[in-house]
Each structure stands twice: as structure tokens, then as C-alpha cells.
A and B are shown apart, each in its own frame.
Chain A
Amino acid sequence: MTPILTPELVRQHGLSEEEFERITAILGREPNFTELGVFSVMWSEHCSYKNTRRELRKFPTTGPRVLVKAGEENAGVIDIGDGWAVAFKMESHNHPSAVEPFQGAATGVGGIIRDIFTMGARPVFLMNSLRFGPIHGDNDAARKNRKLVRGVVAGIAHYGNCIGVPTIGGEIAFDGSYNGNPLVNVLCLGVLKKAEIARGAASGVGNAVFYVGSETGRDGLAGAAFASRDLTEESKADRPAVQVGDPFRGKLLLEACLELLTSGAVAGIQDMGAAGLTCSTCETASRGGTGVQIDLALVPKRETGMSPYEILLSESQERMLIIVRSGEEERVKEVFEKWDLPYSKVGIVTDDGFMRVLDDGSVEVEIPAKQLADDAPVYEREVAIPTRPPAIVVSDLEFHDPKDSLLQLLAHPTVASKNWVFRQYDHTVRAGTIVPPGSDAAVFYVREADKFLAATTDCNHLYCRLDPREGAKIAVAEAARNLTCSGAIPLAVTDNLNFGNPYRPENFWQLREAVEGLSEACRRFETPVTGGNVSLYNESPEGTIDPTPTVGMIGLIEDERWITRQYFRNEGDVIFLIGAIGDEIGGSLYLKTIFGKKAGLPPRLDFDRELAVQKFLRALIRKGVVKSAHDCSEGGLAVALAECCMSGAEKIGARIRLPQMGGSSSQADQRLDVSLFNESQSRIVVTVRSEASDLVQQEAAQAGIELTRLGSVGGSELAIEGPEGTLSWSLDQLHEAWYSSIALALSQQDL
């Protein structure tokens, strides 16, 4: 029984009157109900980027290493040398995770892994960037957040561990703006031979179109459209829009597809992710400049009585569309029978440019593929520029005992050890994890290619809330700095733009500012954006999330000896701060944690200084004198020092003497808390062998880099000598605050 098209039905499909008119013009008639569903998912924000496409064009997308550009295929591909390449991408599963955290997060992992092996790459590692509301406290919001954290972490572990791709790092931050709307951004990287990049195009008229993988069910119906709405109290009713993942099937599909790809039988391959069968058929046709005709009667189904609308819009997981070269169809049968996976020839590539869907022979959908895939309307949304937040006046802040403040910062879950989380992720499978989770960047040995890669994800939502442009620039700078600290050269970026409803002008302003900030920074760091994802409508009844343009960055370490870790190594090593003591307290975690303020102007990024600092550190690392390197981020210098003392396998103390205050600000009378906890950028704590300290100082002077000698490694406490005496913390005291904060919160019973 097909519903009759009414303006109400069109609205329910998230299409405007103008969009409906555009559809009618494309078809030369009104769409039927199934076609309306097809347009509604393809023209949703999730698939079409209709509200953000103009902004995304601002990203730098080319560079000498870029082999597949952003938007061209399922994931970008970059050259890592010696005939090898990596495909990588980050994607969000925020909305599904909000209503069904376990399956939402699990299918997020499954989806991004499919995007990578669709490129012909073997997935080698995963990372994730997560945001939740506060987890401490005896209140409903905290209880709900704890459930979300447990569910999301278990879901990521469930899928990643089973499919055998290690989760080697990432970051997690906690803030009230994510209450009810967590962010789950997952990154996957895969390795492939440069000459063997697979394409998602339906090329070769007459070639067979195969459906492979799990049967289609009613789960995940129109998930892409669901992800393109605000989360409301009623969103729970959308649970059927959340897909269910089967990592075992995912693993079989991965192995079968990679095996088939090496046989040369594949002309094109595309995963069925958002918008399922609809998206994969029209996108492959559009890319190939061809048409695709399939018959739904031939699609393997899990349930009986599914309508064409349901089959086309289902987002059942672990499915792929494969275009097979004529005469090679037997290969598909051999491989998929070996792996005991369903497969079915569902159609052929045609030359008429149509996505034509038959239902047991009779035409159900007939839409020009290119216009469906690529001609969604593009909007210029309205922006509203908010007033700039006033700067923080330090003298208005009550002085709080820094000894206690450091412990509070270390216990803040954003800073605290994430061991409770990372222990649940298999991070050692594939025998390549060199620097495990918990360092500035993870380092992985890609055995196939004999290459060492570093990877990180970063975004400071406080900065982005207060100044999205500066915050976005800093996200890129910090990612590059983290990679540099690990000994790598930054290569390329994947980004995940998490914002609120774009129809609110203040939200759209945030997005535009952030995109322009990211673009500028990616140009300066010569790290092109090779792909990513946009997640809008991140709003709950409590309000909009802080803007969160997450940056995932990949780097290459050209010599194993250059791999550098963040923690202090040996007694007697000399500690330097590359950069000045700093003084910018606006947007800091210190202000938020101790004074409850998300206020002020975030730190400023000076590109020239940042680039010089990173270049200097890389040169030092190559000279072989650097024992450890860790950048200053949330919580400033004091937190960085404490982490250097605690994050290795063995704790080790340090004696620090703060120089006469000020550095660049040259305020001799700067307050101690400002010196310890400010978040001025471009600062890195490094240690060197004591014999090398003169050399390091000479090199810094020559390079024009500000370098502050802080003290030396050793002892069983962190002692910081300031103008008015010495503050000291025992290592056990620091460790207790930092190590168990998250584990304790999450281990409690929440009934």
C-alpha cells in the first residue's frame, strides 16, 4: 500500500517545497513514494552536504602526496613512499550513539572500516575522538552520561576487537555542553600499494552489479535522514533508525573483499553505509558516468514482505556493492562461497545514466543518477556574529592554592588517565603498536610497508566555543605538534565537523569560522584535508554543543630511532621548555575547573612561531639528543610536567625552577597560578641528556627559538620552585588523582 504524496509527507521526509519542485523538474514528473524516500536520504545533510558544501570548498585538498582527493572516493589516499599509500578518514556516529550507545558506536567503527577497505586498503588501525557530558556526581545527567560512556566504549571495543583492527589512541573530553549529545568520531587508517587503489565507479557498460555481504533487514531505516535532525526527547522513538552491527560478518566481508580485489575481477566497489543501497547505486553510476539497473527481488533479505522503500533505505550493516568485470563473475562466487557470505548478482551497468530500480521486473525508481548524487541544492546559510567574549582580568580571580588546583586538574576526566577506556580496546593486535594509547600521538609500525606512522586526534572545544576560528587553527597546530613530539612529519588531515543546527545563524557562523581557521592552518602546515565528515544538528533539549571541529592528523616517522615518547626517562636528564612560560588564561581548563568559567579569549596562535618551534624540535630529535617531548595543552605547563612524571611504565619525579616570570609578556610579577596553568600555545616540554644541554641551548639561540631551562628529572616528587617558595607533590599523590578518576566514576553501580 503506497502512501499518497502530500505536502505533509514531503515535509516529513525533510524536504522543502523548493527541493520538491527541483525533484519534479529533474524527473519531469512528480516522484512516487519510493523515489521521494530516495531523494530524501540522498539530499539529507549527511549525504549531500547541502548546507556545508560551499564552506568545505575552502579546504586545501591537494599536495604532492595526495593520490585521492577529498570527496573523490570513500576516503582520501596519500603516498607514504616506496610504492605504498595509506587511506584514512574520520566519521561520526553521534546521533545513533546518543539513543543507542553500544550499537551506535559499534556501527560507527564498522562503517569507517568499510570506507577504508573499499579503497582496497587493509585497515591497520583505529582511533577515536569522544565527547561526553560530566561523569562525576550523583545526579541524573551524570548517571546518564556514565551509561553513555560505558555503552560507547563497549561498542567500540566490541566491533574493533572482534574484527582485529587495533584501537591505538585518540582523545576524550568531558563538558556539560555534550549532555545528551555525545560525540563519537572514529578514524580508520588502512595501507595499500599505490598502484592498487580501488575505485567506487560503475564503469564498463554491461558489467554485472553484485550485492555482497549481510542480508538486508529493516534496521537503520533512513539513518542518514535521522542524523540530519536535532536530537529531541522523542529521538528515542527513532531507535529503529540505529543499525545493528555484526563484527564477525564485518571481518568476513573485509577479508573476502580484499581477496577479490587482488584477483583483478573488480571494476568498482562501494560500501553500503549511509543511505545503503540507494547511495551506493547512484554514487557508483554518477562516478562512472554510467547508469545502474538493479532488481530488488534479487537482493538477499533478512525479512519477508519488505517494500521497495524499505529495501532501498535500509542501513543494514556489512554490505557492499561490487561492479564485476565481464567474464569474471565466477571469481565472486568462489571467494564469497569460501567465506560463507551471501552474494547475488542484482543488476548491470547501463549507458543511460539512470539509477533504475526494478521490483521483480517492474520499474519502481527511475532517476538520473548524476543529478540525484551530485545536484542536491547548495545553500548559503545565514550567519550571525556574536559579540566577542570579554578578556579575563586576572586580578578579578581569587587566588586558589596551586597545589590543590593541579590535583583538581589532573582528576578532571578530560585530563585524567584514560586507562579504564583503553584497556578495553585491543590495541596490540596486528603486532605493530609502538607507542600505545596515552601519549601525545600513537605510533604504529605498518609491517607490510615497513613504515612508522604517527596519528593523533585533537580539538579543544572551549577554545572553539569562545573563538571558533582560533580554536580550529589551534586544533590543527596541536595535532601537528603532537605528531612532531613523537618524531613525525605531519602529512595530511581528516576532519570531523561537529556543530549544531545550521539553520541557527549563530551556529552557522561558528561552522564558517572553524572551516576558515582549519583551512588556513592546514595551508600553513602543508597538511591537505583528504576527507572527513560533517555532523550537524548536535543539539539536545539542553542546548547546542560547543563547536567541535575534530582534527585527525597522520604523520610519518622516517627513522625508527626518531620515535619519541612523552614521559620522562632517566634521572639527571635536563628539562627544557621550548617556548616561554606564557600568560594566556582565557578559555583554559583552569578557569573552567577551578572557577567554573568558560570565558575569556582563548590563546592566540602565531603560525610562524609554531612552525619554527616544531621545526626546531624535529631537528633536535634527528640529532638524537631528545629523551622525551610533550606539548603543553589543557592545564598548561603544570599538567604537562605531571603527565611527564606519570605516563611512563615507571613514575619518575622532577625538580623545576620557574625562571623570572613572564617570558614574552615580561611581567616580572605574574601570578604563580597563571604561570602554571595558562595555555599559551607553541610550548613543548623536552628532556635531553645532561651532556647535550649546552648544544640544545646553542641550537635554540641559532634558530631564534625561545628556550627556558626548567630543571632536571629525578626523585619521587614533582617540585616546582617559584618566587615565593616551593610547591611539591609526591608522585603517588599525583598518580592517585590522575590515574583512577575516570575508573572510579565509571565503576560505580548506576541502577
Chain B
Amino acid sequence: MKIAVVRFPGSNCDQDCLRALTDGLGVKAEYVWHKETSIDGFDAVILPGGFSYGDYLRCGAIAGFSPVMQSVIEAAHAGMPVFGICNGFQILCETGLLRGALIRNRSLLFLCQPVYLKLENNRTPFTRLSEEGAILRMPIAHGEGAYYADDQTLRELEDGGQVVFRYVNETGQPTPEANPNGSRNNIAGICNPAGNVLGLMPHPDRSWEGRLGSEDGLQLFKSLVDTLLSVAA
């Protein structure tokens, strides 16, 4: 089993994602350069956070057209687990693998702070080891993290169980105060209809061991590994 961590020019959470997998879980993970045209030999893909291609046109827009993404898109359609974190989530929206978009935070300022998340769907490869309703603590760090989709899309996402994580307060309520960036319906993470593609704004790659203030993020990587092992078995 081997997990790919894609490196775009400007990725800056690539090392953190790799460490979470290799140091946190002892699994095999390798970088895949954005100019590669194949991800053969890998069982899952992580699109890390950062500022791919400087995010100069629009967050994730250029990365969506990079050579490696064409094979990631194909693999995703074939059912391979693909997990986009922060900028990775933005890229997934730009490629159309996920619906909606991430726009400027309500405050118009970059925000780095811990948030609470409620897990709303544990039927994805990334959440199967957690209980639905579980509350997780992780940091966010983004300037453009407000999830937006039109009413119709939003309804379909909600009805289809595609809202995987929501911003909540400590007691699990999705209040306006608990919504750090103005995301619609307090959405922090969504998946595709099949559930194998997940996008999440907060950072499990920065909350995978106790010394970082939270190890809740490790649960997501564990679930992924568990999924891959059970598929292999």
C-alpha cells in the first residue's frame, strides 16, 4: 500500500501530510511531482494545502489543469480515494470533482485558529473509524475558505449526505459564531456522491499528535489506511 502526496509548485503542507502518514501511522507515502502524468502504483492521493502556482489566478485554478491532475481525476472516477486538504479542497472544486467553490472569508482576512468540527458522514473511506456526530478539533489556516454553492446544489449535497464536516461550537451546535469564515450551512468538508473524494478546509495534517494540541486529525488518515488495508485483504 502506498499513498501519493502531490507536490504542486507552491504546496506548503506536503511535508506535513507526508509526516502524518509516515511518522504518525508508519505507512508508506511518497511525493508525486505535478509534472507527472501517471499515479500508477499508488492506492490513494492526498492533495496538500499551500498556494499552488501562487494561487495567482484563483485558488486552485491553475493546479486543476496540471498534468498530474488529469490522472488523479481519472483515478477518482475509477473509485480511488482522493483527499484534498485546504488548497487541495480548492483544487478539487476547480476540477469539478467536488461541487461548489471556496471564496474569500467573510472577514476578508486570512484566519489561523482552532475550530471544532462535527462529523456528519462516516461512510467515506476517510471517516469510517469515527462515529457520526463526533466532534473533532483542528486548526484552519486560509484566506479563501468560505464554502459557497447555490441553493439547489446545497440541497442536493445535504440530501445526499455529502456534507461530511460542519463547523460547530464546543457542544456541537452549528451556530453562526462557530462558523469562522462564512461558509454556507457551516460546511467545512464535502465529498462526491460516491464518497471517495473528500475536500476539507481544516488541517488534519496539523493535528495528528497530542503535542500539537490535538490528535483528532490522525483519525482521518487512520480511516484511509484502514480502508486501503481492507480493500487489499
Point out residues on A near B: beta carbons under 8 Å.
Answer: 157, 161-164, 246-249, 251-252, 338-340, 422-434, 445, 447, 560
Contact = CB atoms under 8 A, between A and B. Distances in A.
A686 B88 CA distance: 44
Contacts of A431: 16, 19-20, 205-206, 208, 212
Contact of A428 (B9, B50, B55, B203): B203
B167 interface: no
Interface string B125-152: 0000000000000010101000000000
B9 A429 contact: no
Rank and list the top 8 A-B pairs by shortest CB-CB distance, nearest first: A164-B12, A248-B54, A426-B141, A431-B16, A428-B139, A162-B51, A428-B206, A431-B206
A650 to B, nearest CB: 10
B113 A423 contact: yes
Interface string B200-233: 0001011010011000000000000000000000
Contacts of A162: 10, 12, 51, 54-55
A24 B211 CA distance: 61
B91 to A, nearest CB: 15
Given A161-B110, A164-B12, 5 more contacts: A248-B51, A251-B9, A338-B33, A429-B12, A433-B212
Interface in B1-45: 9-10, 12-13, 15-16, 19-20, 23, 33
B194 interface: no
B146 to A, nearest CB: 15
B51 A424 contact: no
B9 A426 contact: no
Interface in B107-122: 109-113
A639 to B, nearest CB: 24
B214 to A, nearest CB: 10
Given A157-B110, A426-B110, A560 B211 contact: yes
Q: How large is the interface on B (under 10, 10 to 19, 20 to 34, 35 or more residues)?
A: 20 to 34
Contacts of B53: 248
B9 A247 contact: no
B138 to A, nearest CB: 9
Contact of A424 (B15, B16, B55, B112): B112
Contact of B50 (A157, A164, A424, A434): A164
A274 B150 CA distance: 50
A422 B111 CA distance: 9
A434 B211 contact: yes
Nearest to A426: B141
Nearest to B16: A431
A252 B110 contact: no
A221 to B, nearest CB: 25
Contacts of B10: 162, 248, 251-252
Nearest to B7: A255
A428 B113 CA distance: 9
Given A248-B53, A431-B19, A431-B212, A425 B112 contact: yes
A252 B9 contact: yes
Contacts of A422: 112
A719 B147 CA distance: 45
Contact of B141 (A163, A428, A432): A428
14 contacts: A163-B12, A246-B54, A248-B9, A251-B10, A251-B51, A340-B9, A423-B109, A423-B113, A424-B110, A429-B13, A430-B16, A431-B20, A431-B212, A447-B23
A161 B141 contact: yes
A370 B125 CA distance: 63
A423 B112 CA distance: 5
A352 B55 CA distance: 46
Contacts of B50: 164
A204 B204 CA distance: 48
Nearest to B140: A428
Nearest to B12: A164
Nearest to A419: B113
A424 B54 contact: no
A340 B205 CA distance: 27
Contact of B112 (A252, A428, A445, A447): A428
B110 to A, nearest CB: 5
Interface in B50-91: 50-51, 53-56
A94 to B, nearest CB: 24
A427 B113 CA distance: 9
A248 B10 CA distance: 6
A248 B16 contact: no
Given A423-B112, A424-B111, A339 B9 contact: yes
A68 B193 CA distance: 57
A168 to B, nearest CB: 11
Given A247-B51, A423-B113, A428-B206, A445 B9 contact: no
A164 B87 CA distance: 12
A426 B205 CA distance: 14
A246 B12 CA distance: 15
A680 B76 CA distance: 64
